[in-house]
């Protein structure tokens, strides 16, 4: 048996490689090509910056979130509009903006930030002003 250990190892690796190549990968390709991961919505992604009512509400909710996270010691001034806003599709937005922070914080000064936010109610925009219908995925550029 000791004589054939190397041969058994090579044969086992060959069987493993062929089974992955002929069985596993074709199955993965079929799943990836199927509609399993397809999300249909009226909100299509765009590579160009946008300005829509929902993107403006997303900007407002990002600002409110930042204000709440920085606390009452920070004096914060937000611009009227973001620098850019993009839709990532399926009611997900990426907001790029600046904030002027003064007061007793380590973040003092003009800071650029990016906020990724999702509207959870899809095509139903009746509750867009309610922050509970939104999810902040992340904010970068600020130490909050």
Do 58 and 88 share a structural domain? yes
Expressed as residue numbers, the domain containing 113 is 53-140
Do 30 and 95 share a structural domain? no
pLDDT digits (tens, 9 = 90+) for 4-19: 898 999 999 999 999 9
Mean local confidence (pLDDT), 74-94: 92
Neighbouring CB atoms inside 10 A of 5's CB total: 9
Instruction: Give a yes or no: residue 45 inside a domain.
Output: no
Do 97 and 134 share a structural domain? yes
Residue 128's φ and ψ, nearest 5 degrees, are -65, -30
Do 74 and 125 share a structural domain? yes
CA dist 141 and 56 (Å) reads: 20
pTM: 0.71
Do 113 and 81 share a structural domain? yes
Given a cut of 90, whether residue 133 has pLDDT beyond it is: yes
Do 23 and 57 share a structural domain? no
């Amino acid at each position: 048996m000791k004589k054939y250990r190397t041969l058994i190892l090579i044969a086992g690796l060959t069987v493993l490689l062929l089974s992955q190549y002929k069985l596993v990968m074709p199955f993965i390709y079929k799943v990836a090509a199927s509609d399993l991961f397809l999300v249909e919505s009226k909100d299509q992604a765009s590579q160009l910056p946008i300005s829509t009512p929902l993107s403006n509400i997303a900007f407002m909710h990002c600002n409110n979130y930042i204000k709440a996270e920085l606390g009452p010691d920070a004096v914060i001034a937000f611009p009227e509009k973001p620098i850019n806003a993009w839709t990532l599709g399926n009611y997900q937005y990426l907001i790029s903006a600046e904030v002027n922070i003064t007061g007793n914080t380590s973040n003092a000064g003009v800071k650029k930030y990016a906020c990724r936010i999702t509207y959870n109610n899809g095509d139903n925009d009746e509750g867009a002003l309610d922050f509970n219908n939104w999810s902040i995925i992340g904010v970068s550029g600020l130490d909050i």
